[in-house]
Structure 1
Amino acid sequence: LVHQRFSTNTFPSWALAQPFRYLCHNGEINTLRGNINWMMARRHSMTSKLLGADLDKLWPLIGDGASDSATFDNALELLLAGGYSLPHAMMLMVPEAWSENPLMDPHRHAFYEYHAALMEPWDGPAAIAFTNGRQIGATLDRNGLRPARYLVTDDDQVIMASEMGVLPVPEEKIVKKWRLQPGKMLLIDLEQGRIINDDEIKEQLASKHPYQAWLDATQIRLKDLPAEIGPMTPDPQTLLRRQQAFGYTQEDIRAFLTPMAVNSEDPIGSMGRDIPPAVLSNRPKLLYDYFKQKFAQVTNPPIDPIREELVMSLVSLIGPRPNLLDLESGGTHKRLEVKRPILGNIDLERIRRIEYHVDRAFRTETLSICYPIERGANGMARALESLCREAADVVRRGYNILILSDREIDADHIAIPALLATAAVHHHLIRDGLRTEVGLVVETGEAKRVHDFCLLAGYGAEAINPYLALDTLSATLLRAPQKMTEAEAHEHYTKAVSKGILKVM
């Protein structure tokens, strides 16, 4: 196993020279920050029969300072020490595109769907070669964005590299030439002395446990729950006051919300802005305006979510996360699945009252992120601390879904910015070892543009209900350029936001 290339994401150093203990990696892991955060969140809830008390000695398992490849290697080593086989661990960390693939074998589809709740993918353009001394293999990311070609000779040599011709091999000795395809795996078992192809590896692992039966016993889809009654649309005066409180402008309604409801598309604007950045502006700005997208540091081919629909999904799982190192007790941990992380008002009420329909497998508590206006801006820090303590206390009392809501905003109450409240609660629960015990849902009047939803999701929200954007659309239906029902307007807007999130991803 040999790796030769220039460092791209970190400064070159001997400590980061590849290969590492189990792998070498060409490409980059674009989801690295999220992978590190969620691994740290599992620290207090993860247990292992194999490792026992020794598991505590491994922390901090992964963190800043190492390259993305070294971090991936550390996480892989944990899975192997916890009882996963090498191919199983690689399928868990780098899954192939399964969600929208109707041609996939049902057993394999169930395998991937079950494991999606265990661990988030380590995603990005990646060709990864790995070995444990008994098996050696390679896998490619679900998009196939890094090259990996191999050949087999008549004297049982297998040579894989980024391209053919890395080593001189007489043409007459080659019996097979091929490439690793997106999401596929090549494995050589040195003890058995044979090449194991992708289908055989995955069929063997997918048949090891009754994954579909486990899903049938635990999977709850939000759309299958009984319909609830949503809140009434506020009167025009109340709506206007809320819009003013949350920083709405006429431009937001004219140039963003209305086109999204009519066309189901995130509106396109010209490049460049003729206004100062939020940090230099003397006008009040929402917290979202202070953030910008972070782009991949290595040049990658652009991914179009329309043509690449097969490899992209917005399915979200809300609620507690299973123990990553428990390989045997499947079929006991309930999972709530939503098709996309943007919730309508009725969907939010389904979550709010879910315990009455699922034998109390889920229990929801709503926490207000508003505080009395007499405390002023200086009282926000204390309000945040109180919110975090209350969230931790509610989780310890057995509630496993938290709704952070700013609906109580009125003349006597100020709302903590939803992004600030979400991030504060998310990280507080991580520090207290409680984050994997609970799902976070945000009910906010602030979020209206795609950028807002991306930030909330990035800082810990598993689902978001933009109630004020939906109320605004309901009130503007009469002035819309084409006639539609309230349900159609809300669905079009939700679809537009979802498309925008995919575009950002």
Structure 2
Amino acid sequence: VPESTIIAKGRLGPGEMIAVDLDEGKLLQDRAVKDRIAGEADYAAMIGEFHTLADLPVVEESVVRYDRAELARRQVAAGQTLEDMELILSPMVEMAKEAIGSMGDDTPLAVISDKPRLISQFFRQNFSQVTNPPIDPLRERHVMSLRTRFGNLANILDVRDQRERVLVLDSPVLTGEHWSRLKAHFGSAVAEIDCTFDAGGGPEKLRAAIQRIRNEAEQAVRQGKSEIFLTDEAISEDRVGIAGVLAVAAVHTHLVRRGLRSYASINVRTAECLDTHYYAVLIGVGATTVNAYLAEAAIVDRQSRGLFGDLDLAECLRRHRTAVEEGLLKIMSKMGIAVISSYRGGYNFEAVGLSRSLVNDLFPGMPAKISGEGYASLHINAVERHAAAFDAGVVTLPIGGFYRQRHTGETHAYSAQLMHLLQTAVATDSYTSYLQFSRGVADLPPVYLRDLLQFNFPAEGVPVDQVEAITEI
């Protein structure tokens, strides 16, 4: 461009913009653009008129309660154990923080375990592989947010009066009370979809139920419903619950493929959700809000028995919600994500052990280097847990064994017996003890992927004259 035709030179700094007004034939600099937009409406007043949860009317008796027997049945059907209650749920209430473990995970991958595993355990969280945290969720908390907005079609730049359609929550984590207040607030805009299927029949039942949920969600959105409420509360002796992750992913991906996702929010009420990882998976595959109603019912039961000391129920629920929120911030920070809306529907996971056809159907674009369980095997797991839950002999939760070694629990690579043999071999310089330890390790069922591999030894050994002398090594 000839220098004689250039009026001004410059560059845009961070957050700056320019615009061309074709009607008036003007080039607008950064300040002029922002001043014009800011002057079009009273945006400060509009923000002040957004609804929050505190503005919604309180719904009477919205806390989920079950008697001890019914609670135990539902917990067994959801794959929960006494160990989960003691090591995962209770610390959240007692310390308002998620439980922290150490020494890594020495249990088999979900796909090679001989125990039924929850769907969330087939997902591994992605993280930014750098030496320092991308975002520190403690010291940089002020730049992170869990704020969740409803009324997806509302546009803050549209000066027309549609502000009453926007509801903003501080967090996607809902209590039973929040869930009831939201349903009452949205009223006729709500489409509640049952996420259970008939306990009888073959493995096609789960796939058929997923398709039914998809169709009902699409039909509801086309009819003008803006709030999809997915729930498995109808679990009974004749109805098996569908994992919340599958239901949410099915609706999210289907609406995206139909070009309808931005017209509705997806709210899920699920029995399986207990730890922060499950919350993260639900939100990561598309959930707008999450209500772990069975975890809340367990808190209600344990608080009523005095297991949380002098804490009242409201404080117990508040602490649990705080623990989940802090856990979500920690998970987001590992990928350098500051706001929950950027994490929602982002599939920031790797599927380990789910069939590629299932991943393509429900989690398109998610890496899945190891294929494995599909609809049929997930159906079997759900039905087996359901049958165990509604067995007449079920009166208490199973003790577990995923986090700590138990005789009837999950396999652990570093069992107490093997560690004792290794320590004995080292302390006494006993080769016999070491051989026992070595045989014990070799006899373990597969735990890691490498356990499925064998060395392909050559039929003939290497000639001795081709072996480097020990003095040269």
Given the two structures, how large is their TM-score scaled by the length of structure 2?
Answer: 0.62
Q: CA separation in 2, counterparts of 1:268 and 1:486?
A: 24
Change in Cα spacing, 1:134 to 1:452, as seen in structure 2 (3 Å) is farther
Counterpart Cα distance in 1 of 2:47 and 2:27: 36
- Aligned partner of 1:344 among 161, 175, 191: 175
1:281 pairs, out of 102, 107, 113, with: 113
Report SS of the residue matched to 1:410.
Answer: coil
Q: Structure 2 matches for 1:85-234, cutoff 5 A?
A: 136-139=11-14, 185=15, 205-216=37-48, 219-229=50-60, 230-234=62-66
Aligned AA for 1:390?
A: E
Question: Which of 236, 255, 259 is the aligned partner of 1:433?
Answer: 259
Q: C-alpha distance in 2, partners of 1:295/1:250? A: 31
Matched, 1:493 2:320: yes
Is 1:246 the equivalent of 2:121?
no
Tell me, in whole angstroms, the C-alpha distance in 2 between the residues paired with 1:384 and 1:330: 39
Percentage of matched positions with identical amino acids: 32
Whether the 8 Å contact between 2:64 and 2:296 is mirrored in structure 1 is: no
Which residue number in structure 1 is paired with residue 231 of structure 2? 405
Instruction: Give the Cα–Cα distance (whole angstroms) in 2 for the partners of residues 431 and 194 of structure 1.
Output: 38
Q: For 1:483, what is the secondary structure of its paired residue?
A: coil
Distance 1:466 1:214, change over 3 A: same
Amino acid at match of 2:180: E
Given candidates 286, 291, 298, the residue that maps to 1:465 is: 291
State whether residues 128 and 134 of structure 2, in contact with CA within 8 Å, keep that contact through their aligned partners in structure 1.
Answer: no
Does structure 1 retain, via aligned residues, the 8 Å contact 2:248–2:285? yes
2:305 aligned with 1:305, yes or no? no
Q: Displacement, 1:410? A: 1.0
The CA deviation string for residues 307-354 of structure 1, in whole angstroms up to 9 with x for no partner, is 112101111012433469xx5445425111111111010110011111
Distance in 2 between the 1:368 and 1:189 partners? 49
- Once residues 371 and 301 of structure 1 are traced to their aligned partners in structure 2, the CA distance between those partners, rounded to angstroms, is 43
**RCO comparison, higher one (Cα < 8 Å, 6+):** 2
Asked if the contact 1:220/1:337 (under 8 Å) is kept, the reply is yes
Letter aligned with residue 71 of structure 2:
L
Work out whether residues 64 and 176 of structure 2, in 8 Å CA contact, stay in contact via their aligned partners in 1: no
Shift of 1:280: 1.6
Contact 1:262–1:482 (CA under 8 A) maintained in structure 2? no
Q: CA deviation at 1:209?
A: 3.1
Distance 1:246 1:193, change over 3 A: closer
Higher helix proportion (structure 1 or 2): 2
Q: Secondary structure at the match of 1:353?
A: helix
CA shift, 1:252, in A, is: 0.8
Q: What is the aligned counterpart of 1:390 among 216, 223, 226?
A: 216
Q: How far apart are 1:216 and its partner, in Å?
A: 4.4
Q: Residue 214 and residue 487 in structure 1: after superposition, are their counterparts in 2 closer, same or farther (change >3 A)?
A: same
Relative to structure 1, is the Cα distance of residues 367 and 195 closer, same or farther in structure 2, using a 3 angstrom cutoff? closer
Contact 1:264/1:495, CA 8 A, preserved across alignment: yes
Post-superposition shift, 1:399?
Answer: 1.4
- 1:260 is displaced (CA, Å) by 0.3
Aligned counterpart, 1:268 = 100
| Matched-pair contact (CA < 8 Å) for 2:154–2:162 | no
The equivalences for 1:410-425 within 5 A come to 410-425=236-251
2:200 aligned to 358, 366, 374, which one? 374
Which stretches in structure 2 are left out of the alignment for 5+ residues? 1-7, 333-473
Indicate how the Cα distance of structure 1 residues 137 and 275 shifts in structure 2: closer, same or farther if over 3 A, else same.
same
What is residue 504 of structure 1 aligned with on the other side? 331
Aligned equivalent of 2:128: 296
Native 8 Å contact 1:448 1:469 kept in 2: yes
- 1:470-485 matched pairs, under 5 angstroms: 470-477=296-303, 478-485=305-312
Inter-CA distance 313–411: structure 2 relative to 1 (3 Å threshold): same
Letter in 1 for 2:292: P
Task: Report the Cα offset of residue 355 of structure 1.
Answer: 3.7
**Structure 1 pair 303–367 and aligned structure 2 pair: CA distance change class (3 A):** same
| In structure 1, distance between residues paired with 2:59 and 2:234 | 21
Contact 1:318 1:440 (8 Å CA) reproduced: no
Aligned equivalent of 1:318: 150
C-alpha separation between the residues in 1 aligned to 2:217 and 2:29? 52
**CA distance, structure 2, for counterparts of residue 392 and residue 372 of structure 1:** 22
State the Cα distance separating 1:206 from its structure 2 match: 3.4
Q: CA RMSD in A?
A: 2.8
Gaps of 5+ in 1: 1-132, 140-184
The amino acid that maps onto 1:480 is L
Query: Quick one: distance in 1 between partners of 2:322 and 2:176?
Result: 15
Larger Rg: 2
The AA in structure 2 aligned to 1:475 is: D
